[in-house]
Chain A
């Protein structure tokens, strides 16, 4: 983006001072990311999740607004906009009002550091990874405030659980990410991606036998940090009504959920950047696309990245509707007694591996890639089998 500002400054708006151009570009970039990317993504994901949930639970799901119900999220947004905004009389009003802002900003500022393609990134922070962890801490503050500010017992319990859960799972996240940082030697997300290649055996995921383990730990703890099932204890509807958002209604409620769905993208993007080669496309394809048009490789890179992220978004949605919720004590034990020690062993293993085989061990990489390929193939086979053989049929069909 800084490059863009300089280009505009030199070529088009040569009258305006550089800082003004910078400012315009920054505001423009944030507005574009918000309105054209984050908001539609969160909205459509909410619709997709409901449809998938319906499919898994043998229901139909929203299908009335727009073709196949795809505009349901717009209807929901407008409905929320026109709902009466209730603030409980016993609530701590300033905190109650401030909490959705913090939850939303904790999600939204993350997009500063998340790359879309090799050139399309708002700003490539040199402490990018730590910055993303820091923003999730701000979300935790927002959730605690929502829980405390509501003055409801359900909210309070939910807020406390959310805080305990988010902070606990930040440790395995950090340790698992450390495995990649050792290999990449940088915290900047673009540098981490640049260290990988387009093909699976060039990804950090298959660099050594410890990384697949770290990948699993990272994914699990990111899902837990995002308060998603099977770790959605803070909003466990069977015991806590709705957790920290019990007292919220209308737009404030919408923003908390907006953040949760947009967070799915962040989870997928982080995993993709760290382990799955980010936006890397094969060199040949890139050269061919560069011959067509200078922006074409960027589009391909963006699509590659987006597709990889979508895989994880679907996986996390599927997890939510397949796995039962864990208990609070299990949640804490999974984190501190399993994920943290194993992640620690992974970090040690990766460091040793790098010393013994600085150039990597090709046959090990190919072996891991093959095993992972088999697992993915079996998974796809099972999903397709389920889709084919468990199709919902109406008992009473008026059209037959």
Chain B
């Protein structure tokens, strides 16, 4: 086992454990922080794939933007509301749910295992930022501009939704 493999397993392990934390943790702030830890680990995996730019952007947008956004959203809602959200359910229900989850997981694992990912191989030196810029300029101009439109639409949409809540109160 090379150093790469060890690092891969460390990052992947972290990602899985903290992803569990997102779901399991009763406190929403802890969930948000676990999510950030998951995304950090994924950034580590990107690094192992030599996609430095992606890794850094992952940390920049998710740690900076998404976590702060989530914390603000959690602060918008009252924390005592969350305490009321405990699931009330009998033992049989819990057992059935667990079974369903296990079945779903196994199915998913099979599907992932059987799927052959096809498509063009990545460009030489894909992780490098100038290669990425060149690709955006040449092959992916239209998707690039459409991404701009998409971002604007989501900005306006989010602000409108937020304002709807504001006027209701």
Contact = CB atoms under 8 A, between A and B. Distances in A.
A touches B (Cβ under 8 A): yes
Interface of A: 19, 92, 95, 125-127, 130-131, 133-134, 136-138, 140-141, 144-145, 148, 160, 163-164, 166-167, 170, 185-187
Interface stretch (B53-61, B87-95, B115-123, B147-155): B53-61
B31 to A, nearest CB: 13
A125 B52 contact: yes
A136 B33 CA distance: 17
Given A126-B129, A127-B56, A127-B129, A134 B71 contact: no
A134 B47 CA distance: 15
Nearest to B65: A167
Contacts, number: 64
**Which residue, of A148, A164, A185, has the highest number of chain B Cβ atoms within 10 A?**
A148
A275 B37 CA distance: 35
Contact of B3 (A19, A138, A141, A148): A19
Given A130-B60, A160-B75, A141 B52 contact: no
B interface: dominant SS: helix
Contacts of B59: 134, 137-138
Contact of A170 (B64, B67, B128): B64
B148 to A, nearest CB: 14
B29 interface: yes
B33 A145 contact: yes
Given A126-B128, A187-B129, A140 B56 contact: no
Interface of B: 3, 29, 33, 36, 52-53, 56-57, 59-60, 63-65, 67-68, 71-72, 75, 128-130
Contacts of A138: 59, 63-64
Given A126-B129, A141-B63, A167 B56 contact: no
Given A126-B52, A126-B129, A133 B71 contact: no
B56 A163 contact: no
A130 B56 contact: yes
Nearest to B55: A127
8 contacts: A19-B3, A137-B60, A137-B65, A138-B64, A141-B68, A164-B68, A164-B72, A186-B130
A326 to B, nearest CB: 21
Nearest to B54: A127
A177 to B, nearest CB: 13
Contact of B29 (A95, A130, A166): A95
A134 B52 CA distance: 12
A182 to B, nearest CB: 11
A187 B33 CA distance: 29
A15 B97 CA distance: 58
A286 B8 CA distance: 44
A19 B6 CA distance: 14
A133 B61 CA distance: 10
A22 to B, nearest CB: 10
A137 B129 CA distance: 21
Contacts of B53: 127, 130
Nearest to A145: B33
Contacts of A185: 130
A134 B3 CA distance: 26
Nearest to A147: B71
Contacts of B56: 127, 130-131, 134
